[in-house]
Amino acid sequence: MAKAPTVRRTMHLKFSAPSVDPKTLLAMIKAARPFYEFFGGKEVRLLRNVDDPSRYTQVIEYEMDAKIELNRQQLASDPRWQSSLQLWRSVVTGGIDIDIFADVSNGDK
């Protein structure tokens, strides 16, 4: 049986968390690792803005079946994803901006 084609993506979740210790955010990421891996997560990082230490970007690199990736709205409505976002919303100030990127540096689409 042929393996289904996959796509690699990078997700950025941008948010403010002025009163949260970065160690708390890192613990949340560590606890959510099995969830990220279930959805094809390969690497998860947390970046802190050096000019505004209350601003963070969580970077999730993942690879998933191309057919599933095409229907991200269905994935976004998954209860497990919604539960994860709800946890993040409970500790961040304001909204969470989510951007999805494809790496085109090697000519990929």
Q: Angle at Cα 77 formed by Cα 6 and Cα 94, nearest 5°?
A: 110
76 — pLDDT class (breaks 50, 70, 90): low
**What does the alpha-carbon distance between residue 72 and residue 79 come to, in Å, rounded to a whole number?**
13
pLDDT higher than 70, residue 69: no
Lookup: tokens for 13: 């979740």
Q: Give pLDDT, residue 50.
A: 97
47 — pLDDT class (breaks 50, 70, 90): very high
Average pLDDT, the chain: 81
**Cβ burial 60-97 (10 Å sphere, 16+ → b, else e):** bbbebeeeebeeeeeeeeeeeeeebeeebeeebeeeee
Domains of the chain and CATH, by start: 6-101 (3.30.70.100)
CA 88 to chain centre: 11
* The model scores a pTM over 0.85: no
Who has greater pLDDT, 53 or 37?
Answer: 53
Least reliable range by pLDDT among 34-38, 51-55, 100-104: 34-38
Q: Give pLDDT, residue 109.
A: 57
The dihedral sign for the CA sequence 28, 43, 95, 78: negative
